[in-house]
Each structure stands twice: as C-alpha cells, then as structure tokens.
C-alpha cells in the first residue's frame, strides 16, 4: 500500500508496523519496485511486544543481536521472511 498522511508519503505492508517513509513520489516508486522484486525487505525490530523500528534491508542481511530485542524480516514474496 502506498499512502500519504498530511505532507508525508509512506509505503506499507499489511502487518502492523511495516511502514516506511519516503521523500517523494520517485522514491516511492523505486521502493515499491525494489520491494516487489525482493531486492529489499522490511526489517522490523521489537522489544517484547513493543515496536522499536522499521527500516529496509537487503534480503540476506544478517540481523544484529540486540539484547532483549527480536528482529524480523518480511519480504514481498515470503521467500526471505524470518
């Protein structure tokens, strides 16, 4: 999903907290193309049930270990989900 909120543009997957802000329409199109081609994935960091951050990562990126945190990768195709 691509959407705007006031003066901000966002790309979002259906699961909660999988949103990524973009600067303009060109970046939005680029990010959507990369996500749907599995060139990038969403990286979700949680501390227990509390959301910490969402960013983009390469599909084979190894998550850093953060004590008390979990890192989850979510891809368009599901091939790179962890």
What is the tens place of the pLDDT at every residue in 4-57?
677 777 776 667 778 888 888 899 899 989 999 999 999 999 999 999 999 999
- Residue 46: domain span: 2-74
The reply to whether 79 falls in a domain is no
Whether residue 73 contacts residue 81, with contact meaning beta carbons closer than 8 Å, is answered with: yes
What CA–CA distances, in Å, run from 41 to 7, 67, 68?
A: 25, 23, 22
Task: State the DSSP code for 63.
Answer: P
Residue 20, pLDDT score: 83
In angstroms, the CA 4 to CA 42 distance is: 19
Residue 63 lies in a domain: yes
Percentage of the chain beyond pLDDT 70 is 87
Q: How many helices (H) and strands (E) does the chain have?
A: 1, 6
Instruction: Please state the pTM of the whole predicted model.
Output: 0.78
Is residue 82 situated within a structural domain? no
């Amino acid at each position: 999903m691509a959407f705007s909120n006031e003066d901000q543009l966002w790309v979002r997957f259906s699961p909660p907290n999988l949103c990524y802000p973009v600067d303009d329409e060109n970046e939005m199109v680029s990010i959507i193309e990369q996500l749907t081609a599995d060139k990038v994935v969403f990286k979700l960091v949680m501390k227990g049930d509390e959301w910490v951050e969402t960013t983009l990562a390469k599909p084979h990126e190894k998550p850093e270990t953060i004590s008390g945190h979990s890192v989850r990768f979510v891809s368009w195709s599901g091939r790179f989900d962890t």
